Amino acid sequence: MIDYSELKEAIIKGQAPVVPRLVQQFLDAGVSADQIIDQGLLPAMDTVGDKFKRNEYFVPQVLFSARAMKAGMEVVKPLLIGDLALQPRGTIVIGTARGDQHDIGKNLVAMMLESAGFRVIDLGTDVAPEKFIATARQENADLVSISALMTTTMAEMPHVIEVARNQGLRDKLKILIGGAPVTQQYASEIGADGYGENATDAVDIVRTLLQIKEA
């Protein structure tokens, strides 16, 4: 039985310099890259998400943990090229709505999704509805996540849904929205598939929408 406790603890505590060394030790011992990810890295970030939900962790701690997770992924990533045994849990296109330059919340959601095993295409801020959907089509995405931090830019969210519908993608493409002024009621009004109140909430909803079980 392989003991991942030290690796998990390093990620949970956000010890980015320590994680690559521990990951390399597992690789040197003959442990496969996908096993390290599935049994070490991903469960550690699930624990971080749980701590965030319980208000035991806050944004700075989550960011440190996500960076530690990313440092570990950088070690195993070269070994995954051409490896069909490990596939992303899904492809997510994420960005902040047109006219909105805020990105802290969006960045945190993107990092948490990546840490949960999703492939994330981050379009940044001030993203037009057409760009969200064009990228989703090009990347064969499963879900589009839109953030808005101002009430004025919330109005862009239904336009993204409308473009997806007009291009015949609405049935296969899930739409998730979030941000300070956004509510579940608004998500229901505009026909979004989900609403994330915070980063870990968003990850849970993505898992539910894409019917993915936790690691």
- Whether pTM > 0.85 for this model: the answer is no
CA distance 14 to 83: 28
CA distance 71 to 83: 20
CA distance 123 to 95: 5
Element (H, E) at 146: strand 143-147
37: three-class secondary structure by DSSP:
helix
Written as six digits, the tokens of 194 are 């989900």
Q: What is the pLDDT of residue 86?
A: 55
Sign of CA pseudo-dihedral 9, 13, 19, 22? negative
CA distance 94 to 197: 15
| Of the candidates 15, 24, 107, the residue with the CA atom closest to the CA atom of residue 65 | 15
pLDDT tens, the chain, 215 aa long = 899 999 999 999 999 999 999 999 999 999 988 889 889 998 998 899 889 889 999 888 988 998 999 899 889 888 865 443 456 789 999 999 999 999 888 988 998 888 788 999 999 999 999 999 999 999 999 999 999 999 999 999 999 999 999 999 999 999 999 998 999 999 999 999 999 988 888 989 999 999 875 54
CA distance 91 to 179: 21
Q: What is the pLDDT of residue 65?
A: 93
Q: What is the pLDDT of residue 29?
A: 95
Q: What is the pLDDT of residue 70?
A: 87
Q: What is the pLDDT of residue 154?
A: 96
| Of the candidates 116, 98, 114, 95, the residue with the CA atom closest to the CA atom of residue 178 | 95
Q: What is the pLDDT of residue 85?
A: 46
